[in-house]
Each structure stands twice: as structure tokens, then as C-alpha cells.
């Protein structure tokens, strides 16, 4: 567990990097939807690609909250960078949670150094919320698995070097018929499909992947056969809180912009921030942001103490992502017509923030999970 000082030092560096290096390009890469290779390489130089990887494997992992506040700081400037790091970290986390020592030594050290970028492929065209119905299969033949299937909506899909893939390893319809594999992009039969033209978070690419008789060495199975869904359930809790933290970062940026604007914009001879309607918007936004911060901090604390936290992770995700969408919308309202034009970042933030009510389990699925725990 890191000291408070260590956590502060890491976050200070992330804040500086986000402000100096990624804020200046955020608007441009939203327009072009270009993958920001240079700044992703810089993220590894300052240790961010190892943020969820233990020191023993070359990472910089300290605690969950430092990871969450890292993606939050990135998202305050550019949610695409935060999303790229999150998908890479989910890939690493699955290997760390289920993998054997040799796999960890080989793959985690490269992921931590940023030598390789990771991705995680679960979703298929016919199987999103219901991962139990995936059709990708991995059939064992001696010391290899033959992988066949089609994944879509995969973050980092085209730019990653390895992808952790969920596939069925038996025809039995149980929770235990799915397994996870580390699939290097270099394997024959592994093809990249089209990249989606998205509404927001545009510089984080989202791609189709095809597996046609890909021969995956048996040693690339993560953990043992049938452990796939259990691993995902555990790792996804962490990703859900990270998604909440990204949404929180966007909400905070929108709040800061709205507060500053309300002091400077005059109507009827005085700053609009003097009007109760605007003051109450700001008060609601500040209160909601504070609630989200506390939910995320509480979940991180439970995770670091190895206490049960799935219910809290879903609560943090659904509350924060829905709160952030409303908060950015209120910030746009405070900006009036200026909020709707591209000279201001409000319209970009509104497009960006909408994703987070969908990805890593929709709001409806989070509520389903919470209800199950009640
Ligand atoms: C930009 C982006 C990046 C992504 N990155 C990745 C990635 O890196 N890896 C990956 O594997 N996936 C990724 N995804 C996929 C994402 O996780 C799924 O889109 C999400 O889980 C929802 O699945 P779906 O789109 O198939 O929607 P569906 O599951 O078809 O849901 C449609 C609607 O039905 C609702 N619904 C479904 N089931 C229920 C139910 N039981 N009760 C109530 N309502 C229900 C949903 O909440 C939703 O409103 C990404 C998606 C996007 C858009």
C-alpha cells in the first residue's frame, strides 16, 4: 500500500502530462479520430502502462485509487487516452489475476514497459450484455487451440500487440465453459476488420477482429479451462470503477468550465452566476460530483482491503456515468448557445461522456447486478 506522498507524486506527474501533452491535442484528435501513438508512448515512459501491474513484473502498481485517479486525470483532458489505458490495463489485469508465473513474467513485463499494447475481446455482434452467448470457440488439438470467431467493438483492437480473447472451450452451457487466451496479433488467421466511426471518444479506436483457424499455443490459455467468466467478473469490477472515474473526470472539467463561465458571462447587466437558476445548477453539479468521488473512494478502499466490492463497483459505475452525463448537459446549458458550438469543448465532452453509460456493462446491467446483491 503506498504512502499518501507516493500517490500524490504519481498523480502530480499524471496531471502535468495530461495538461501539457494531451490537452493541446484533444480537440484535433477528436476531429481526425487518429490514434495518438506518440502520447501513448509517452504514457509508458512515465510508467502509466504499468499502473495496474505489480512491481515484480516491471509495473508501477501502488493501489486501486491511484489507478482510478490516473484515468480520471487523463479524462479531464482527453477521455480517449484514458480509454486506451483502461483497455490495456484490463488485458494486463486478467493475466495478473489468472495467469501463471511464466505468463506474467513474459507478458506483463512487456505490457508494463509499453513495448506491447494490450486489448481485451469479449463482445460479439450477437453477444454484448449476454456474454454467455458468445460463439467464438477454441478447440484443443494436442498442444494448440484452434480459435474461430468474430469479435467487435474492441478498444485498441487494431493497435494492440496482444489481445486477451474470451472463447468457449466446451459445448456445455454453463458458466464454466469459457476460457481466456492470450492471442498475439502476429498469429496467422488473426485479421483486423473495420474500425467504427464513433460519436465520441474518437481517438480510441474500436475495431472488429476475426479469428479464422488461429493456432493458439496451449500455453497461452490463461489459468485453466473454464475459468474465463470468473476472471472477467473479477477484473471487470475494477474496469467499471475506472470507467466511473473517467466519467467523473469529464464531469469535473465541465463543472470547472461552467463555473468560470458563469462568473465571466454577463446578461441583464450582471454575471449569470448571480442568478439563482445558475447557482443552483452549480450547487447540484458540485454535490453530485462529491457523491461520485466518495463512491469511488469507498469502492477502492474495499478492493485494496480485499473485501467484497462488486455491488459498490456497479453502484459507482451507474451513478457516476449517469451523473456525468447530466452534469455535462447542465454545463452546456450554463454556456447557452456557446456551449453548442465547437469553439468550446462542451459538445465534445457531451459526445464523449455518453459512451460510459454503455461500455463495460450498460446502466441496466449494473442495476441488475445491484438488485441481485440486495
Ligand atoms: C466504444 C466502445 C468500446 C468498447 N470496447 C470494448 C472492448 O474493448 N472489449 C469488449 O469486449 N467490448 C467492448 N465494447 C462493447 C460493450 O461492452 C458493449 O457494447 C456493451 O456491453 C453492451 O452490449 P451491446 O452493445 O451488445 O448491447 P446489448 O447487450 O444488445 O443491449 C442493448 C440494450 O438492451 C439492454 N439489455 C440487455 N440485456 C438486458 C437485461 N437483461 N435487462 C435489462 N436490459 C438489458 C441494454 O442495457 C441496452 O440498453 C465496447 C463498446 C463500445 C461502444
What is the 10 CA–ligand 1 centroid distance (Å)? 33
Q: Which residues contact 174 (CB under 8 A, 6 or more apart)?
A: none
Q: Whose CA is nearest to atom 23 of ligand 1?
A: 128
Fold of 4-117: Butyryl-Coa Dehydrogenase, subunit A; domain 1 (1.10.540)
* 91 vs 343: CA distance, rounded Å: 36
What is the 208 CA–ligand 1 centroid distance (Å)? 15
Q: Which is the catalytic residue, given 28, 139, 360, 364?
A: 360
The top-level CATH class assigned to 119-227 is mainly beta
Q: Whose CA is nearest to atom 2 of ligand 1?
A: 153
CATH 1.10.540.10 domain extents, the chain: 4-117
* Residue 153, all three cell numbers: 467493438
CATH number of 229-373: 1.20.140.10
* 82 vs 242: CA distance, rounded Å: 9
Instruction: Flag whether pLDDT at 340 surpasses 70.
Output: yes
Give pTM, 2 decimals: 0.97
Q: Whose CA is nearest to atom 48 of ligand 1?
A: 362
Mean pLDDT of 224-241: 95
Span 136-153, pLDDT tens digits: 999 999 999 999 999 999
Mean pLDDT of 110-123: 98
Instruction: Flag whether pLDDT at 51 surpasses 70.
Output: yes
Active site residue 364: no
Span 155-207, pLDDT tens digits: 999 999 999 999 999 888 777 899 999 999 999 999 999 999 999 999 999 99
Instruction: Flag whether pLDDT at 5 surpasses 90.
Output: no
Question: What percent of the chain has pLDDT above 90?
Answer: 96
> How many angstroms separate the Cα of 11 from the Cα of each of 2, 41, 87, 347, 348?
13, 18, 20, 27, 25
What is the 21 CA–ligand 1 centroid distance (Å)? 32
CATH 1.20.140.10 domain extents, the chain: 229-373
CATH 2.40.110.10 domain extents, the chain: 119-227
- Which is the closest atom of ligand 1 to the Cα of 125? 26
- Which is the closest atom of ligand 1 to the Cα of 157? 8
> What's the whole-number average pLDDT of the chain?
96
Split at pLDDT 50, 70, 90, the class of 235 is: very high
Amino acid at each position: 500500500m503506498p504512502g499518501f506522498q507516493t500517490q500524490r507524486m504519481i498523480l502530480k506527474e499524471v496531471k502535468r502530462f495530461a495538461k501539457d501533452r494531451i490537452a493541446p491535442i484533444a480537440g484535433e484528435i477528436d476531429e481526425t479520430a487518429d490514434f495518438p501513438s506518440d502520447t501513448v508512448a509517452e504514457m509508458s515512459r512515465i510508467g502509466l502502462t504499468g499502473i495496474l501491474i505489480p512491481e515484480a513484473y516491471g509495473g508501477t502498481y501502488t493501489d486501486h485509487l491511484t489507478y482510478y485517479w490516473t484515468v480520471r486525470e487523463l479524462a479531464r483532458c482527453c477521455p480517449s487516452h484514458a480509454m486506451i489505458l483502461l483497455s490495456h490495463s484490463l488485458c494486463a489485469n486478467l493475466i495478473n489475476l489468472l495467469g501463471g508465473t511464466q505468463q506474467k513474467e513474459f507478458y506483463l513485463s512487456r505490457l508494463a514497459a509499453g513495448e506491447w499494447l494490450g486489448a481485451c475481446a469479449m463482445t460479439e455482434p450477437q453477444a454484448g450484455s449476454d456474454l454467455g452467448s458468445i460463439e467464438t470457440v477454441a478447440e484443443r488439438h494436442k498442444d494448440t487451440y484452434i480459435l474461430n470467431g468474430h469479435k467487435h467493438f474492441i478498444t485498441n483492437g487494431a493497435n494492440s500487440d496482444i489481445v486477451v480473447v474470451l472463447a468457449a472451450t466446451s459445448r456445455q452451457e454453463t458458466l464454466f465453459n469459457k476460457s481466456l487466451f492470450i492471442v498475439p496479433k502476429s498469429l496467422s488467421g488473426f485479421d483486423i476488420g473495420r474500425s467504427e466511426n464513433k460519436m465520441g471518444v474518437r481517438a480510441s479506436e474500436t475495431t472488429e477482429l476475426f479469428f479464422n483457424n488461429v493456432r493458439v499455443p496451449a500455453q497461452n490459455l490463461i489459468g485453466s479451462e473454464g475459468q474465463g467468466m470468473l476472471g472477467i467478473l473479477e477484473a471487470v469490477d475494477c474496469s467499471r470503477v475506472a470507467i466511473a472515474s473517467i466519467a467523473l473526470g469529464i464531469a469535473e472539467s465541465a463543472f470547472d468550465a461552467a463555473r468560470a463561465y458563469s462568473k465571466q458571462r454577463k446578461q441583464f447587466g450582471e454575471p449569470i452566476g448571480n442568478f439563482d437558476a445558475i447557482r443552483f445548477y452549480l450547487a447540484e453539479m458540485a454535490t453530485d460530483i462529491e457523491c461520485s468521488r466518495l463512491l469511488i473512494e469507498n469502492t477502492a478502499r474495499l478492493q485494496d482491503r480485499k473485501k467484497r466490492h462488486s455491488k459498490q463497483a456497479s453502484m459507482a459505475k451507474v451513478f457516476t456515468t449517469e451523473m456525468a452525463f447530466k452534469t455535462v448537459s447542465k454545463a452546456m446549458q450554463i454556456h447557452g448557445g456557446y456551449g453548442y458550438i465547437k469553439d468550446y469543448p462542451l459538445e465534445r465532452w457531451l459526445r464523449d461522456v455518453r459512451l460510459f453509460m454503455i461500455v463495460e456493462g450498460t446502466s441496466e446491467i449494473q442495476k441488475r447486478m445491484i438488485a441481485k446483491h440486495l
